[in-house]
Chain A
Amino acid sequence: MNNSPGDRHDGVSRRGFLTGTGAVAAAAAGLQAELKQATAQPRVDDTNPMGPAPVLLQLTVNGRSLTTHVEPRVTLLDALRNYLDVTGCKRVCDRATCGACTVMVNGRTVYACTMLALEARGCDIRTAEALVRGGKLDPVPTAFVDCDAQQCGFCTPGFVVSLRAALDRNPRATPEELEAAVSGNICRCGTYEQMRHAIVQLCQKGG
């Protein structure tokens, strides 16, 4: 897998050593110029063919505009993790089953492993990284910490994104409704009982 240079997180990243060079800044400037050119071009063909060679991809992730190049077959999950260094969403089954890759696209949860990155252009994408605001942890992961609702933690980013999306749609959701909201997520460690406690805490505190 390529680790294409993209925008970096603020602060220290595990992959910072891959991207923190002067060449990156130059490449990023090149991308911006290309983006400008691409959006300025008049549309000649309304079928919009792209690829199979890598094409320009601009995504809005957690409120930030990120740009890279991907082949059409690259999924949203792989684009986020391997090209844009947004590694909160996890790759486990890669078959739309386990939920570890869950992200919000325009407020609705999707399996990022089963959506092409090109399909997510122009959408508002939110990942587990969005569940910190101004250094303060969102109530959903806070409840998970309080209730010890994870063991290995690999499924956790998917669960918390699913719960956040459900609470955003209905802040007064019942525990039963929140359990239904995470029915597309699987925890191999089986920490469901502690997650139930976290859900009850969330309902008591009103999301």
Chain B
Amino acid sequence: MKNFTYYQPTSLSGVLKVLDEAAGKAEILAGGTDLLDRMKEYISQPEKVVSLVGFSGPFKEISSIAGHPPTVTIGAGVKLVNIAESELLRPYPALTSAAAQIAGPQIRNMGTLGGSLCQRNRCWYFRDEHVQCLLKGGRRCFAHDGENQYHAIFTQGHPCVIVHPSTLAPPLMVLGATCDIRSHKAQRQIPIEQLFQAPVKDGQREHTLAPNELLVSVTIAPKIPPGATLRNASYEVKQKETSDWPIVQASVAYYTEAGGQVAKGVRIALGHVAPTPLLSPAAAKVLEGQEVNEKTASAAAEAAVEGARPLSQNAYKVQQLKVAVRRAILLASGAKPYWEG
């Protein structure tokens, strides 16, 4: 790891000041589970590392979960374990179950919401110090005709076919989350979909934050009419039970009105299948206004994979994605998981 100057500001303005003055030569250190790995592999070599531990205690907004469901604000510095175990977030199993399944206990004790959303991708060509891929100033993406079994199936013409690594992004997208972003002189709120982009060259990241901006918090505010019941769930297909990124992930949220079983306000998001987490309006449209059962869930799952263009080694992910979408919808409806025997 290249050495650096370490900053531990005791105020938010201190963090933003260092980021502003560093002009892109600083990295933000929260849990460190992604950043330290990148620095050890010389993928990132910042001159300055700005730690959030110095002020995240006193600055509640970045370190706490607050609000009254359906509107809850989660600080970007909140640890994954605290999201998984939060009482306030109980109405959002799509989010809490996703957080509870990330990696292993140690990572969940270290990693944060902001880190999950802003981490860099896991493509093995990108992560190899000696490979100069598109995202590191090279001329081509080696995954296109290389080892691509875990890469995108919705490549959408992007020259780089990574999958977005965040497991918290799809549930937050279906729960209608917005991001609070601050810089030295400005503050902005954006829907979480706009936090992500497909990077195509050196200097671009998987998120749209400027180098001098900090993600402070994410607010969940699902749009449901008074008296309606919010239903939501996530389902992941993994190679191992723990300590792994999902191969595919689906998150679903909808509401039912009193006494009814018809799904309304359906939102379905797909994870680990494209360079950004993807909302699937096609799948949501199929389920909208329908009673949720295995048949309608399967129909929505078929719609979710329309337009998939798998690479040479990952056609299997299309079938897995169908399964994930169907099971996430059925889990959200409260149906007994038939696949658990």
Contact = CB atoms under 8 A, between A and B. Distances in A.
A184 B40 contact: no
Contact of A184 (B8, B51, B243): B243
B105 A48 contact: no
A102 B106 contact: yes
Main secondary structure of the interface of B (DSSP, over half): mixed
A109 B106 contact: yes
B4 interface: yes
A153 to B, nearest CB: 20
A46 B14 contact: yes
B149 interface: no
B7 A111 contact: no
A75 interface: yes
A47 B29 contact: no
Interface string B101-134: 0011111011000000000000000000000000
B7 A119 contact: no
A75 B241 CA distance: 29
B104 A99 contact: yes
A73 B18 CA distance: 18
A52 interface: yes
Contacts of A96: 33, 36-37, 106-107
Given A114-B32, A118-B8, A52 B242 contact: no
Nearest to A107: B109
A181 interface: yes
Given A50-B7, A73-B4, A184-B104, 16 more contacts: A48-B8, A48-B10, A49-B5, A50-B5, A51-B3, A51-B4, A52-B5, A55-B6, A96-B107, A105-B109, A108-B81, A114-B110, A119-B53, A162-B106, A180-B242, A183-B242
Interface residues of B, number: 38
B63 to A, nearest CB: 14
Given A72-B49, A184-B105, A51 B6 contact: yes
B144 interface: no
Contacts of B104: 99, 183-185
B320 interface: no
B190 interface: no
Contacts of B103: 184
23 contacts: A43-B10, A46-B10, A49-B5, A51-B5, A51-B6, A72-B3, A72-B5, A72-B49, A73-B3, A94-B40, A95-B40, A96-B37, A108-B81, A109-B109, A110-B110, A114-B36, A114-B37, A116-B29, A116-B49, A116-B51, A183-B105, A183-B241, A184-B243
Contacts of B110: 110-111, 114-115
Contacts, number: 110
Closest 9 pairs (CB-CB, A-B): A184-B104, A72-B6, A183-B242, A108-B109, A46-B14, A52-B3, A48-B8, A184-B106, A47-B14
B31 to A, nearest CB: 8
Nearest to A158: B106
A97 interface: yes
Interface string B69-110: 000000000000100000000000000000000011111011
B11 interface: yes
A116 B3 CA distance: 12
B17 interface: yes
Contacts of A73: 1-4, 39
A71 interface: yes
A181 B5 CA distance: 35
B336 to A, nearest CB: 20
Contacts of A108: 81, 109
Residue of A46, A47, A71, A119 most packed against chain B (CB within 10 A): A47
A162 B107 CA distance: 12
Contacts of A115: 32, 36, 110
Nearest to A118: B6
A116 B105 contact: no
Q: Which of A43, A46, A75, A181 has the most CB of B within 10 A?
A: A46
A181 B18 CA distance: 38
Nearest to B54: A48
A179 to B, nearest CB: 10
Residue of B13, B18, B51 with highest tally of chain A CB at under 10 A:
B51
A52 B15 CA distance: 18
Contacts of B3: 51-52, 71-73
A72 B2 CA distance: 10
B106 to A, nearest CB: 4
